[in-house]
Amino acid sequence: MTRLLGKTAVITGAADGIGFAIAKAMAAEGARVLMGDIADDKGEAAAAGLREAGANADFRHCDVSVETDIAGLVAAAVSATGRLDVMVNNAAIAIGGMPIYEMTDEQWHRLIAVNLTSVFRGCKQALPIMIRQQAGSIINMASAQAHIGLDGWTAYAGAKGAIISMTRQMAVEFGPHNVRLNSISPGTINTPMNEQVIAQLGPGLMQSWVGMHPIGRIGKPEEVAEAAVYLASDAAGFTTGIDLKVDGGLTALPRFIPHQA
Ligand SMILES: NC(=O)c1ccc[n+]([C@@H]2O[C@H](COP(=O)([O-])OP(=O)(O)OC[C@H]3O[C@@H](n4cnc5c(N)ncnc54)[C@H](O)[C@@H]3O)[C@@H](O)[C@H]2O)c1
């Protein structure tokens, strides 16, 4: 378990869900991880739990909709180890489940601030350090929602689609500095975000989600974390500008089912 030995990794939205799974997996691979989140108690406890298990992990408050918080998170990581090897822009919120014409301007701006402007800011902070090092891996969390249509999630899908385009653009621009940028598009993953969506839209939704994934189940946060570890590691040294789908085949649909033809 030494795929990230000696690397410094910053992960946003790391107190729970996919972000926590990424922090745990990266720490288990030898990285020194700095976890940012707005859920301070949960984040502190999560980092303490990782330390008890022998990991090199710390937590720092970071609201990704606040520019100085992201700058502070990155600066803290660099001041601790002198490096920033991996930046995972993961934090996001789910505002949706309504037609776009019912979304308020306030909801739109909040979603864009937390889900998209945050990625711009995370990259803005990380890139100069990685360019100076002539090495680094930035991983931006997109979504299967960027690839398919699903009623009620236009703004969320728009932000995730923009993340994929921006990631590809930056991969081209900063590849000459040996800085790699990739995104991950998870399918439906079993996290608190989806518990919130189920609470909002009803339990029948889970059955529909399972049916949407050809693999026949929703995903685990650890399965997304594995993809992030790969993209952060030297094994992915020639991989940049991709969107890695970890979606149980969700975006490979629709499929042709002969007996229904
Ligand atoms: N769960 C899924 O099915 C799924 C599918 C596709 C993409 N994603 C993406 O994966 C990422 C993680 O999702 P998740 O399901 O683990 O979410 P989650 O809600 O379970 O966890 C998100 C974490 O981000 C934190 N957070 C929320 N607002 C924040 C802010 N302003 N600043 C910093 N931290 C904040 C929360 O406190 C929480 O710890 C997100 O980018 C999400 O869009 C999730």
User: Residue 156 corresponds to which tokens in the numbers above?
Assistant: 């969320």
- Answer yes or no: is pLDDT of 256 > 80: no
**Nearest partner of 87 among 121, 110, 56, 53, judged by Cα:** 121
Please report the DSSP string for 136-166 in residue order: EEEEEE--GGGTS--TT-HHHHHHHHHHHHH
- Please give the distance of CA 57 from its chain centroid, rounded to a whole number: 18
Look at 256 and 182; give whichever has higher pLDDT.
182
Structural tokens at position 114: 């937390």
Instruction: Tell me which residue has its CA closest to atom 12 in ligand 1.
Output: 18
- Within a domain: 154: yes
Mean pLDDT value of segment 18-38 = 98
Mutate which of 89, 193, 196, 251 to test ligand 1's pocket (most atoms within 8 Å of Cβ)?
193
- 181 C-beta closer than 6 A to ligand 1: no
What confidence category does residue 211 fall into, taking pLDDT thresholds of 50, 70 and 90? very high
Rounded CA-CA distance 44/146 in Å is: 32
- Say if ligand 1 is within 6 A of residue 220 CB: no
The amino acid at residue 189 is I
Q: Is 28 helix (H, G, I), strand (E, B) or coil?
A: helix
Q: Tell me the average pLDDT across 28-55.
A: 98
253 assigned to some structural domain: no
**Ligand 1 atom nearest residue 91's Cα:** 24
Residue 100: pLDDT band (50, 70, 90) is very high
Number of structural domains (the chain) is 1
203 three-state secondary structure: coil
Name 170's Cβ contacts closer than 8 Å, sequence gap at least 6: 123, 127, 138, 181
86-89 and 136-141 beta bridge pairing: parallel
**The pLDDT of residue 261:** 57
221: in domain: yes
User: 78: domain CATH number?
Assistant: 3.40.50.720
| 250 lies in some domain | no
From ligand 1's centre to the CA of 91, what distance in Å?
A: 5
Mean pLDDT on 157-185: 98
Other beta carbons within 10 angstroms of residue 11's beta carbon come to 34
Give residue 200's pLDDT band: very low, low, confident or very high (50, 70, 90): confident
Token digits for 76? 């803290």
Query: What is the mean predicted confidence (pLDDT) over 134-158?
Result: 97
In the predicted model, what is the mean pLDDT of residues 213-222?
96
Tokens matching residue 25? 């997996």
Within-domain flag for 86:
yes
CA separation for the pair 257, 132 (Å, rounded): 53
Give yes or no for residue 13 CB within 6 A of ligand 1: yes
Cβ of 90 closer than 6 Å to ligand 1, yes or no, is yes
- Active-site pick, 59, 156, 174, 209: 156
CA 78 to centroid of ligand 1, rounded, Å: 24
Q: Given this model, what pLDDT does residue 260 score?
A: 65
Question: Is 162 touching ligand 1 by the criterion CB < 6 Å?
Answer: no
DSSP states along 32-88:
EEEEEES-HHHHHHHHHHHHHTT-EEEEEE--TTSHHHHHHHHHHHHHHHS---EEE
156 catalytically annotated: yes
Identify whether 155 is part of a domain. yes
The CA distance from 154 to 158, in Å, is 6
Domain of residue 201 covers: 8-245
pLDDT (mean) for 159-164: 98
